[in-house]
């Protein structure tokens, strides 16, 4: 079904975080978020670009995403209309910029599904109406501070804890969490590519703690060394930043570079490519889970729908709204018994609250098609 687009709004919003979020590549205290709104003859569609303010997690950053959308991606859309399934092919001549492409494709898909009265979850193939939720815990100033944070999240009902680690903050915080909360806690760690193969012995010390997985221990572009490391560890290796497409996922599986995959739709270019990775991994018996990028309710709605697909057998980073924001731009996602409900309304099943959106907007530009 072709969707005829009259124009696209690029809207920047400022979203303070409830607490600083520290990883091995930096500290986030607020989110400078780019929202994409596609306007059609029948209505509109929304999406969120996951790019951060600085190119640290990956090469993309929010100013660059807005620029490439304005100058190249939006003008490339056919004037006579486009099916969401064709957006990826239309944008393929432009190298990289997966997060910007994902936002545009998702907004077109949201508009298309709203018009058809179909939910995002139903379209993607969701197999359940709610998903179990984990939470990502950043690097802290001290172990007591970490233990207090983890206790708070367990009390809220999160069913899995992920600890960010880096050299100098790995074995001891993991040991402390295990000793405090026991072996039954679902626990995993995320290194965000902070280690090298020289650190294999240090990483092997994590084998003693019964972790679900260690996420992206080595460099993004080094699947071969991940395959070597996998032979030296008992803990399953999960790839995140290394997987930018279904082709990358196939290569990683073939090499033995990972036995789990974290699928972040924005990183792979959109939810349709994310579904292809899910299908590939499921065919090979590789469990997947849905990662997060500190999304507002717009991005969270899409992630929760994706996480309801049958191959997502591990809890994802699909936290409730209050994990990051005092006030979300949509109706908040609220954790219930460690789960979030999959939206059932047309499209994403949620949209920005106009008053809140106006309050947090820092700029807006309209690009006619």
**CB 264: neighbour CB atoms within 10 A?**
25
Rounded Cα–Cα distance for residues 316 and 21 (Å): 17
164 is catalytic: yes
Backbone angles phi, psi at 50, to 5 degrees: -85, -5
Q: Which of 79, 164, 205, 231 is catalytic?
A: 164
Rounded Cα–Cα distance for residues 28 and 300 (Å): 18
Q: Which residues are CB-contacts of 289 (< 8 A; sequence separation ≥ 6)?
A: 134, 260, 261, 262, 263, 307, 312, 313, 314, 315, 316, 317
Rounded Cα–Cα distance for residues 58 and 42 (Å): 36
Rounded Cα–Cα distance for residues 59 and 293 (Å): 15
Let me know: does 174 contact 209? Beta carbons within 8 Å: yes
Rounded Cα–Cα distance for residues 335 and 300 (Å): 13
Please identify every residue annotated as catalytic: 164, 264
């Amino acid at each position: 079904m072709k969707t005829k687009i009259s124009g696209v709004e690029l809207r920047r919003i400022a979203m303070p975080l409830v607490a600083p979020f520290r990883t091995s590549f930096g500290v986030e205290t607020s989110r400078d978020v780019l929202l994409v709104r596609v306007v059609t003859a029948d209505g509109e569609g929304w999406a969120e670009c996951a790019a951060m303010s600085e190119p640290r997690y990956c090469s993309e950053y929010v100013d660059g995403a807005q620029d490439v959308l304005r100058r190249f991606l939006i003008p490339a859309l056919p004037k006579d209309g486009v099916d969401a399934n064709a957006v990826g092919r239309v944008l393929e001549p432009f190298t990289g910029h997966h997060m910007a492409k994902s936002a545009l494709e998702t907004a077109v898909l949201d508009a298309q599904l709203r018009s058809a009265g179909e939910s995002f979850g139903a379209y993607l193939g969701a197999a359940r109406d709610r998903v179990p939720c984990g939470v990502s815990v950043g690097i802290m100033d001290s172990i007591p501070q970490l233990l207090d944070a983890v206790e708070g999240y367990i009390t809220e009902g999160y069913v899995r804890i992920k600890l960010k680690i880096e050299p100098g903050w790995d074995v001891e915080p993991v040991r402390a969490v295990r000793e405090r909360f026991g072996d039954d806690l679902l626990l995993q760690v995320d290194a965000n590519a902070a280690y090298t193969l020289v650190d294999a012995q240090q990483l092997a010390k994590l084998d003693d703690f019964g972790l679900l997985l260690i996420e992206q221990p080595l460099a993004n572009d080094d699947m071969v060394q991940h395959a070597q490391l996998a032979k030296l560890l008992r803990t399953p290796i999960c790839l995140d930043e290394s997987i930018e497409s279904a082709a990358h996922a196939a290569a990683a599986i073939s090499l033995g570079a990972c036995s789990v995959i974290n699928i972040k739709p924005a990183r792979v270019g959109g939810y349709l490519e994310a579904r292809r990775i899910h299908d590939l991994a499921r065919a090979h018996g590789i469990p997947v889970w849905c990662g997060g990028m500190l999304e507002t309710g717009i991005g969270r709605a899409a992630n929760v729908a994706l996480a309801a697909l049958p191959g997502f057998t591990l809890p994802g980073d699909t936290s409730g709204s209050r994990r990051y924001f005092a006030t979300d731009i949509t109706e908040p996602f609220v954790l219930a018994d460690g789960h979030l409900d999959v939206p059932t309304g047309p499209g994403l099943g949620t949209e920005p609250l106009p008053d809140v959106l106006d309050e947090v907007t820092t700029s807006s530009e309209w690009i006619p098609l």
